[in-house]
Chain A
């Protein structure tokens, strides 16, 4: 008998609804943004952007109400176990809101300039954010998959947002076809998980699998091989989304072809969403499969992927001249670093994952904001040469860019260094020799990465400005963008020197991961 709903659980109450208040507000604003788009005249379409930003502010306020609820670090389950509110979900939802708000802010002038100012753009970003937020709060395979698709589908459309741009079309097509294929693989994997365990609830799955990893019972047979197949399929789908090797091929093309503002968004928001889903699946539902007797667990598989990912990403980035492609490979490399934290399986590793994702969001959106500003009449601004002499043309932009680039490179005294320190350090801390070797490879990788990040600095500060007439026109930096960028840069430096406040936040995530796993059985259903 498949376990199905037999007796009816109690109705969702207002308490349950309070848990999805941020999401409800976001849905209302996203829907309203759509209606606003068709209601506003062409000259006033940019108002949708400000409307969306106000919406995100309300969402953040509603989410702030949940901070106190998760103080106990015990996850709260609502909507018949569909929802799963813990420290991880609260912290990451803030990250998503920040990523979305930054992307919208940086997009306003860019879209105006491209004459593509439309409300759908902002509605799509909001819908994608809604998907991410539900990914962070879902505790059930079905809810997770639906919200994951909500997040991904919006981004597919956003990548092809410039309909008249052939590159944008091509990128969208490639991204969509490969993305849908990987989603299908993941869905197949999830269906196998359900088939083996008979549950869609992550907690119940974890509990059931824990009973199987020793080889199963006489009644169930040995489902470990089938679980391995499911694991590989689910991991393939998720690794595709975070562009880990060998599922990274789409990233450079999609990053290059997409509108630069969308590249900025997809490199932080949906990517962080995929990390959250990866953490939920591997560190919670499939956690008992980390290491298995006589069979490779996911820790070994993920370690191989992580090493390949950072090595391939860094080596390929060295040869790139297009800034967007270079950053695509750099983000592949960073995906490799972040996976290390999950592989290590220590508190320090989880802290590193959370810390690095948070600071990466600031640094990467910052770098893209400057590249967006370079985009002007006649100048695509995507070649590394376009940065030549930026310091003499726009000193403040060049300095901001330098801070973000140094952060990505992981130079000490920037937040990027702290993240890498935690990620690599956790491998050594775990005390396993094979993880120490991986830590050495990771450090070597970081050294290779210095080279291509240094190319940015050289172009901006040492090279003479290109002989291009259009270069003389001012950069597209609105005051609000300038303030946001300055604040992000200050944050990158501040958390590089005094990381403790952000480490505390990262610790909430790490604690919730370990607590959730320790009590997976007790909290599965309300």
Chain B
């Protein structure tokens, strides 16, 4: 078990290093930096102009829909990966390429129905 995990040690090190650098930078700037607060400095940054209105604006529900659809198709994408990885080996082992291919195609076809539905419902049509 530890043998497999050794592959992750570089990853762990980079995680550790990243958080170390981030916290060090934050703490040192907090400790060493002078704090002079003026009105301009405390203003929300909007490319140098005076801010227009509140930054906490309501989002259109359209963003939400797109985000939701993204999740669903994201799940589809992640499920494609194990299939793609084992495709060749499994097709050989089962002796039936078409079967392994069809398995995923049925999955994709079902979601394609959803895609047609979403499209026809006009979710991607933002001008309306």
Residues of A within 8 A of B (CB): 8, 11, 27, 31, 34-35, 37-39
Cβ distance B59 to chain A, nearest Cβ, rounded Å: 19
What are 21 of the A-B contact pairs (CB < 8 Å)? A8-B93, A8-B94, A11-B94, A11-B96, A11-B99, A27-B110, A31-B110, A31-B113, A34-B113, A34-B114, A34-B117, A35-B113, A35-B116, A35-B117, A35-B120, A37-B117, A38-B116, A38-B117, A38-B120, A38-B121, A39-B120
A34 to B114, alpha carbons, bound, how many Å?
A: 8
A39 to B96, alpha carbons, bound, how many Å?
A: 38
Q: Which residues of B contact A35 (CB under 8 A)?
A: 113, 116-117, 120
Q: Which residues of A contact B99 (CB under 8 A)?
A: 11
Identify which of B94, B113, B120 gathers the most chain A CB atoms within 10 Å of its CB: B113
Residues of B within 8 A of A (CB): 93-94, 96, 99, 110, 113-114, 116-117, 120-121
A27 to B111, alpha carbons, bound, how many Å?
A: 12
Closest to B119 in A: A38
Q: Which residues of B contact A11 (CB under 8 A)?
A: 94, 96, 99
Cβ distance A116 to chain B, nearest Cβ, rounded Å: 16
Q: Which residues of B contact A27 (CB under 8 A)?
A: 110
A37 to B116, alpha carbons, bound, how many Å?
A: 11
- Describe A's contact surface by its main secondary structure: helix
Closest to B114 in A: A34
Cβ distance A437 to chain B, nearest Cβ, rounded Å: 51
Q: Which residues of B contact A38 (CB under 8 A)?
A: 116-117, 120-121
Q: Which residues of A contact B94 (CB under 8 A)?
A: 8, 11
Given A11-B94, A38-B120, 10 extra CB contacts under 8 A: A8-B94, A11-B99, A31-B113, A34-B113, A35-B117, A35-B120, A38-B116, A38-B117, A38-B121, A39-B120
Cβ distance B128 to chain A, nearest Cβ, rounded Å: 15
Cβ distance A293 to chain B, nearest Cβ, rounded Å: 37
Closest to B122 in A: A38
Cβ distance B100 to chain A, nearest Cβ, rounded Å: 10
Cβ distance A485 to chain B, nearest Cβ, rounded Å: 34
Q: Which residues of B contact A8 (CB under 8 A)?
A: 93-94
Cβ distance B107 to chain A, nearest Cβ, rounded Å: 12
Q: Which residues of A contact B116 (CB under 8 A)?
A: 35, 38
Closest to B113 in A: A31
A38 to B110, alpha carbons, bound, how many Å?
A: 16
Cβ distance B105 to chain A, nearest Cβ, rounded Å: 15
Closest to B95 in A: A11
Nearest 8 pairs between A and B by C-beta?
A38-B120, A31-B113, A34-B117, A11-B99, A11-B94, A8-B93, A38-B117, A35-B116
A39 to B110, alpha carbons, bound, how many Å?
A: 18
Cβ distance A291 to chain B, nearest Cβ, rounded Å: 40
Cβ distance B72 to chain A, nearest Cβ, rounded Å: 12
Q: Which residues of A contact B110 (CB under 8 A)?
A: 27, 31
A11 to B94, alpha carbons, bound, how many Å?
A: 7
Q: Which residues of B contact A34 (CB under 8 A)?
A: 113-114, 117
Cβ distance B9 to chain A, nearest Cβ, rounded Å: 25
Closest to A120 in B: B117
Cβ distance B104 to chain A, nearest Cβ, rounded Å: 15
A35 to B114, alpha carbons, bound, how many Å?
A: 9
Q: Which residues of A contact B96 (CB under 8 A)?
A: 11
A8 to B94, alpha carbons, bound, how many Å?
A: 8
Closest to A24 in B: B106
A27 to B113, alpha carbons, bound, how many Å?
A: 11
A46 to B93, alpha carbons, bound, how many Å?
A: 49
Closest to A37 in B: B117
Q: Which residues of A contact B113 (CB under 8 A)?
A: 31, 34-35
Cβ distance B125 to chain A, nearest Cβ, rounded Å: 13
Cβ distance A446 to chain B, nearest Cβ, rounded Å: 46
A37 to B110, alpha carbons, bound, how many Å?
A: 16
Q: Which residues of A contact B121 (CB under 8 A)?
A: 38
A310 to B89, alpha carbons, bound, how many Å?
A: 56
Q: Which residues of A contact B114 (CB under 8 A)?
A: 34
Cβ distance B93 to chain A, nearest Cβ, rounded Å: 6
Closest to B116 in A: A35
Cβ distance B87 to chain A, nearest Cβ, rounded Å: 15
Cβ distance B71 to chain A, nearest Cβ, rounded Å: 14
Closest to A10 in B: B94
